[in-house]
Amino acid sequence: MKLLLIVQQHKRTIFDRLQESIARHAGECDIHRLDEVDQKNLRSYFERHIDTAEYDRILLMIRLKHQLIQVGFLQSLPNLVFLEIDAWQNFHPKSKYRNRFLRHYLGVPWARIISTGCQVSRKLSGHGLDAVFAPKGYDQALIENLNRHRDIELGFIGSLKSGFYSDRRNFLLSLAKVEPLQIMRTKPGRDYVEKLNQIRFFISADVNFGEYMIKNFEAMAAGCVLFAFNQGDEENKAIGLQDMANVVLYKTIDELRAKLTRLRAEPQFADQIAANGQRFAEQYCTFEIWGKRVVGAMHAPLRDKTMFPPSKPSLLDIFRNGFFR
């Protein structure tokens, strides 16, 4: 399979290892990293740089906001696949993109969507889309257990600012009132890894997200005991998370505190959960494995585009296609 991989150009190497894994497992792959200007003008970029007839699959991994205004062009691409890590926002009541992912992908119903949420994939499939599940992972070249003394008992590293993070923020601030939780921000890269390795119990609060964020697997791989908001049996079974075996799952502050009390009293039990979690992450949740799963999800034949009635381009599509040609 010859693959064309279209991704965002980042100032830091957020997904470089994932993209390298996809390219390696595809066998033959061209990676194009697009800046903001080119992401907004895909038609122009393709006309200047790409012959789509050369590729068996075109895998797109750019932000939804850039895709929304270019549906007309996306409809013209053959063998189109999307790698989607944010479609959980489609179902989150506080996200500005609520229902917009679904409407967007219904505009290209013959394309395959590789989603990182099991429940999200099922919901998208329920709307008639070709959605396949390939769970997230972490950058195995960056995150590691440094086997140091952990001087922060309870910690969280991450953002609390966005609107759909308000439930996370409220939960963590409420927990911090009754437990010695440290809420922190770090620079990406080594500073982040160093801080992860200071934390004994990492408190992940993806409250009602419907899937597990990358941060969970990073904390496991760094040797923390991961406390994760329980996204449900379907998600847990699909990924392989087992409560009080390789992760600590909770739904409420009271449940979290009860399990925390037990682990404080049984430190060896906590150590075993951390070790199991790290081993699980290393075996099943790396970017290397994620990339292999993404490629596997592309192999099955795609839907026949001719089986779907063409949709009329919007006035915005007409304007953009004429303006940027």
Q: Which domain range does residue 88 map to?
A: 2-137+288-323
Q: How many domains are there within the chain?
A: 2
Asked if the structure places residue 143 within a domain, the reply is no
More confident residue, 159 or 4: 4
Q: Tell whether 175 and 254 lie within a shared domain.
A: yes
Q: Tell whether 114 and 16 lie within a shared domain.
A: yes
Model confidence band, residue 161 (pLDDT cutoffs 50, 70, 90) = confident
Q: Tell whether 185 and 208 lie within a shared domain.
A: yes
Q: Tell whether 124 and 18 lie within a shared domain.
A: yes
Please state, for a pLDDT cut of 70, what percent of the chain lies above it.
93
Asked if the structure places residue 264 within a domain, the reply is yes
Q: Tell whether 213 and 257 lie within a shared domain.
A: yes
Asked if the structure places residue 145 within a domain, the reply is no
**What CATH number should be reported for the domain holding residue 316?**
3.40.50
Asked if the structure places residue 142 within a domain, the reply is no
**What CATH number should be reported for the domain holding residue 239?**
3.40.50.2000
Asked if the structure places residue 24 within a domain, the reply is yes
* pLDDT attached to residue 310: 61
Q: Tell whether 210 and 267 lie within a shared domain.
A: yes
Q: What is the mean pLDDT of the chain?
A: 92
Q: State the SS3 of 199-227.
A: EEEEEECCCCCCCCCHHHHHHHHCCCEEE
pLDDT digits (tens, 9 = 90+) for 185-198: 999 999 999 999 99
pLDDT digits (tens, 9 = 90+) for 305-321: 888 876 555 555 444 44
* pLDDT attached to residue 259: 98
Q: Tell whether 125 and 180 lie within a shared domain.
A: no
| Mean predicted confidence (pLDDT) in 15-21 | 94
| Mean predicted confidence (pLDDT) in 143-160 | 95
Among the residue ranges 46-50, 62-66, 264-268, the one predicted with the least confidence is 62-66
Q: Tell whether 281 and 298 lie within a shared domain.
A: no
Q: Tell whether 303 and 273 lie within a shared domain.
A: no
Asked if the structure places residue 168 within a domain, the reply is yes
Please state the φ and ψ torsions of residue 112, each to the nearest 5 degrees. -95, 140
Q: Tell whether 65 and 116 lie within a shared domain.
A: yes
Q: Tell whether 318 and 303 lie within a shared domain.
A: yes
pLDDT digits (tens, 9 = 90+) for 250-307: 999 999 999 999 999 999 999 999 999 999 999 999 999 999 999 999 999 999 988 8
Sequence-ordered list of residues with C-beta below 8 angstroms from that of 301, at least 6 positions apart, any chain:
none
Q: Quote the pTM value.
A: 0.91
Q: Tell whether 266 and 315 lie within a shared domain.
A: no
Asked if the structure places residue 144 within a domain, the reply is no
